[in-house]
Structure 1
Amino acid sequence: MSVWSFDAIGTRWEIETENPLPKAQRTKIDALIDDFDLTWSRFREDSLVTRLSEAGGIAAVTTDAAAMLDVYRELSEATDGAVNPLVGESLNALGYDAGYSLAAGAPRAAPSDWQSILTWTPSELSLASAGVIDVGALGKGRLVDLVIDALSEIEGDLIVDAGGDLAVRGAEVRIGLEHPFDVTKAIGIATIRDRALSASAINRRAWGDGLHHVLDARTGLPVRTWAATWVTATNAMRADAAATALFFAGGAELADRWGVEWVRMSTDGHAERSVNAPVELFTASAGHR
């Protein structure tokens, strides 16, 4: 396999193909990722999200708005509002802002009426007032799907890995599930073929004393019960979304309704898994849901 490695949207990417990707394909992928980032990144001064954050407004967008925000609506309803795409200001308040100040202030809850503030169609995004959109609950997974779709004409096995969110086409792949408290260890091995796998953990994008990127939008505070989640699904956006939902009450029920398979590990070290998760766990304290 040939591996193309590069950095984009704040993470390391690896695209594995049977033969090296032609320059034209690499240029196409670079442009696709940059276009997505130019729309959705709250860390770029020139992004659409940053522009809307100042006073709101209406903007033309690609179908990504509807594709992602329709799923956000499901996430919000399933978790009783714990997942919310206007959580960006809550992240900023704790120091995970565009300047990476990492200077935590008072926690700030995201607006519970977000669906009256943020509205969308397949071609238009509207923010009624100033607010910070953050699509971190599923955005990286969506981008992985876009990249693998853009490589549909490439023959043979294909793996698109964006730092914890990946999609596999073709050959069976075994993936270690990183222990959230010791990155030199794995709590198990997932085996997937023609599927996606997403992982989320509180040890990634963490700073300060107990501060990390997985917030409960209702309080603006980091979650405390679950330490890491892993989900396999037919596409990476759905896997990424479920991996976020599993940190909250209602997440396991949503994952089961979606028909995705999952594992999660609590902060006290015990693991739960869906009955048919394609995972071999290395712990004796794993329960089924």
Structure 2
Amino acid sequence: MASWRFDAIGTRWEIETSAELSVGDRAAVAAEIERFDREWSRFRADSDVTRLGREGGTLASPDAGVMLDAYRDLSAATDGAVNPLVADSLAALGYDAEYSLVAGEPLAAPAVWDERVSWTDDAVTASAPSLLDVGALGKGRLVDLIMAVLADTPGDLVVDAGGDLRVRGAAVRVGLEHPYDPTKAIGVVSVQDSALCASAVNRRAWGNGLHHVLDARTGVPVRTWAATWALAPEAMRADAVATALFFDGGPALAESWGVEWVRMTTDGRVQRSPGCPAELFVVESGRGARPAAEN
């Protein structure tokens, strides 16, 4: 397999193909990543979503409908714990556009976010300045988009964005990285013609108990669950469920979407969905497996 590694959207990417990608294919991948980032990154001063946060109005994007529809389901399943207006809550704890990592008081996100934000298939409109954060599923969405860009590439294909990955063709053996010891894995799973996404509280963490997975109802980082993994046909749904699994309604949403999953508590207990194909174990490094990272 040929491998192309690069950095984008704040994470390390690896695209594996049966043969080297052409210059045109690489340019198409780079252009799609840049388009998505320019539209949806709250860390860019020139992005459309940053403008929406300053001014309100409309953000035109082919991703608007599919992502906001998923957020509606996420919000309903988790009783409002997952909310695309959590950006200001993250910023209040220091995870802001400048990466200040200086925490202030927790800030709850607006509970009725869908009264401030409306959307169609190809646009989202904010009735007042509203900064969106699509981190609950955006990286998975972008992985799916890159798979589509490379749809005509022959042979096996793996698109891996910082451990959130989608596989076409031959199966890939993936290790489920232990959230408190990256040299170990809590299990392995074979991914074939599907996607695996994960989230963990030890990544994007700073300060005393601060990390990027917040309960939007309180603006406080979650405490019960340490790591989640979700396996689905598409990366966006796997990414979304990996976020939802930090909350009580996550397993029900996963079942309704047909997503298999594993999650681990902060005290080391592991749960999984009844049909999850992962092989779980207590102490093993997962040597030879591709490590599954975080959102």
- TM band (smaller chain): over 0.9
In structure 1, C-alpha distance between the alignment counterparts of 2:92 and 2:70, rounded to whole Å: 25
Q: Any idea what SS the aligned residue of 1:39 has?
A: helix
Contact 1:43 1:99 in 2 (8 A): yes
CA deviation string 1:45-79 (max 9, x = no partner): 000011111131123x2220001000000000000
The separation in 2 between residues aligned to 1:58 and 1:273, in whole angstroms, is 40
> Aligned partners of 1:107 and 1:251: how far apart in 2?
23
Partner of 2:45: 45
Correspondences of 1:85-104 after superposition (within 5 Å): 85-104=84-103
Tell me if the contact between 1:164 and 1:200 (Cα under 8 Å) persists in the aligned partners: no
Match in the other structure for 1:30: 30
Q: RMSD across aligned C-alpha pairs, in angstroms?
A: 0.9
Counterpart residue number, 1:147: 146
Sequence identity (%):
63
Number of residue pairs matched? 283
* Unpaired segments ≥5 residues, structure 2: 284-295
Q: Which residue of 2 aligns with 1:16?
A: 16
1:278 aligns with 2:242: no
Partner of 1:202: 201
Aligned-pair CA distance for 1:3: 0.4
* Aligned residue runs from structure 1 range 224-235, under 5 A: 224-235=223-234
Q: Structure 1, residues 250-270: CA drift from partner, whole Å, max 9, x if none? A: 101110111111000000100
Does 1:191 pair with 2:194? no
Q: Which amino acid aligns with 2:24?
A: A
One-letter amino acid of the structure 2 residue matched with residue 280 of structure 1: E
Q: What is the distance in 2 between the residues matched to 1:253 and 1:148? A: 28
Deviation, structure 1 residue 276? 1.5
The 3-state SS of whatever aligns with 1:187 is strand
SS of the aligned residue for 2:230 comes to strand
User: How do 1:70-89 residues align onto structure 2 when only pairs under 5 Å count?
Assistant: 70-89=69-88
Tell me how far apart the structure 2 counterparts of residues 10 and 72 of structure 1 sit (CA, whole Å): 22
Contact 2:42 2:131 in 1 (8 A): yes
Task: Tell me the equivalent position of 1:111.
Answer: 110
- Partner of residue 290, structure 2: none
**In the alignment, is the contact (CA less than 8 A) between 2:139 and 2:161 conserved in 1?**
yes
Q: Mark the runs of 5 or more structure 1 residues left unpaired by the alignment.
A: 285-289
SS of 2:118 mapped into structure 1: strand
- Please report the TM-score for the alignment, with normalisation by the length of structure 2: 0.95
For residue 153 of structure 1, give the secondary structure of its aligned residue in structure 2. coil
1:156 alignment partner in structure 2: 155
1:193-231 deviations in whole A, cap 9, x for unaligned? 100000100011111110000000000000000000001
1:212 paired residue number: 211
**Are the equivalent residues in 2 in contact too, given 1:192–1:278 (CA < 8 A)?**
no
Who is 1:287 aligned against?
none
Could you tell me the TM-score, scaled by structure 1's length?
0.97
AA aligned opposite 1:12: R
1:182 positional shift: 0.6
Q: What is the DSSP-based 3-state SS (H/G/I as helix, E as strand, rest coil) of the residue aligned with 2:198?
A: strand
Equivalent residue for 2:261?
A: 262
Higher relative contact order (CA 8 A, sep 6+): 2
Q: Is the 8 A contact 1:102 1:208 kept in 2?
A: yes
Q: CA deviation at 1:14?
A: 0.1
Q: How far apart in 2 are the matches of 1:74 and 1:164?
A: 24
**Counterparts of 2:100 and 2:213, CA distance in 1:** 17
- Paired residue for 2:170? 171
State the distance in 1 between where 2:68 and 2:24 align. 31
Deviation readout 1:105-141 (Å, 9 max, x if unpaired)? 0000000010000111122221111221000000000
CA displacement 1:128-184 (0-9 Å, x = unmatched): 112210000000000000000110100000000001210000001100000001111
